[in-house]
A = this chain, B = another copy of it.
Amino acid sequence: MTTSTDAPRRTRIQQEKRELILEAALEVFSTNGFRGSTIDQIAEAAGMSKPNLLYYFRRKEDIHETLMQRLLDTWLAPLRELDDIGDPMTELRNYIRRKLEMARDFPRESRLFANEILQGAPRIMPLLAGELKTLVDEKAAVIKSWMRAGKIARTDPWHLIFSIWATTQHYADFDVQVRAVLGPDRGGDGRFEDAARFLEQLFLDGLKPKN
C-alpha cells in the first residue's frame, strides 16, 4: 500500500526537490515575470543544475502553472471566509486586515499574480472568468444583502471588492515605491500598521470631517 492513491506517486526526494524548485521559482518569477525569468536562474536559486531541474519539471511552463494553481487557492481564502453570519462591518474590517496581512507576509505571491494579470492573464484567463467570477458574484450578493438590511452603506459591491484588493495588494506589488516615498524613517516595518490604521478609517468613515 502506497502513501497516495490517485495523485502521481512520488518519492520523498521528488517531493522535497519539487518543493525546493517551486520556492526558488516563486522568487525568480515574481521579480522577473515569466518571460523575464530563465530556467538557469531558477536552477541556480534552487541549488541544482538545469538538467536536474528539468528532471522534476519537464517544461518551464509546468513550474509556472503549478505555482499559479497553488497560489489561487490560498489567495482567495480570505474572500471565501467572508461570512454571511456575523456583523457585516466587522466581517469587512477583518477581510481588509487579512488581505493586508497577506500582502505583508506573501508579497512574492502577490507580485506573481500581478505579473500574470498585467500581461493579460494569458495562462489563467479561464479561471478569472470562471471560478473567480463565481466567487466574487456570490460574495457580492452577500454584501448586497447587508446593504438591504441597512448594515452598511449602499454602494457597488463589486467595486468595493476591487478597492479592497487594490489598496491592500498595493503594499506588496508597489512595495519599492511605497518604501521610497515614505523614506527610511517611516518606510520601516511600521508601514503596515500605519496602512492598517488608515485603511480601517477610510473604509469606515471616509474623509469627511466628523462635525
Interface residues of A (CB under 8 A from B): 31-36, 89, 92, 111, 114-115, 117-121, 125, 128-129, 132-133, 136, 150-153, 155-156, 158-160, 162-163, 165-167, 169-171, 173-174, 176-178, 180-183, 186, 194-195, 197-199, 201-211
Tell me the interface secondary structure of chain A in the complex: helix
How many copies of the chain does the oligomer comprise? 2
Whether B92 contacts A207 by the Cβ 8 Å rule is: yes
Chain B residue nearest to A196 (CB atoms) is B159
Bound Cα distance from A117 to B183, whole angstroms: 16
Least distance between A145 CB and chain B CB atoms (Å): 14
Q: A150 to chain B: which residues have CB within 8 Å?
A: 209, 211
Whether A32 contacts B121 by the Cβ 8 Å rule is: no
Q: A121 to chain B: which residues have CB within 8 Å?
A: 176-177, 180
Least distance between A142 CB and chain B CB atoms (Å): 14
Whether B118 contacts A181 by the Cβ 8 Å rule is: no
Chain B residue nearest to A93 (CB atoms) is B207
Whether B31 contacts A181 by the Cβ 8 Å rule is: no
Least distance between A92 CB and chain B CB atoms (Å): 7
Q: A177 to chain B: which residues have CB within 8 Å?
A: 117, 121, 128, 132
Whether B117 contacts A155 by the Cβ 8 Å rule is: no
Bound Cα distance from A197 to B160, whole angstroms: 11
Q: A153 to chain B: which residues have CB within 8 Å?
A: 201, 205-210
Q: A129 to chain B: which residues have CB within 8 Å?
A: 180, 183
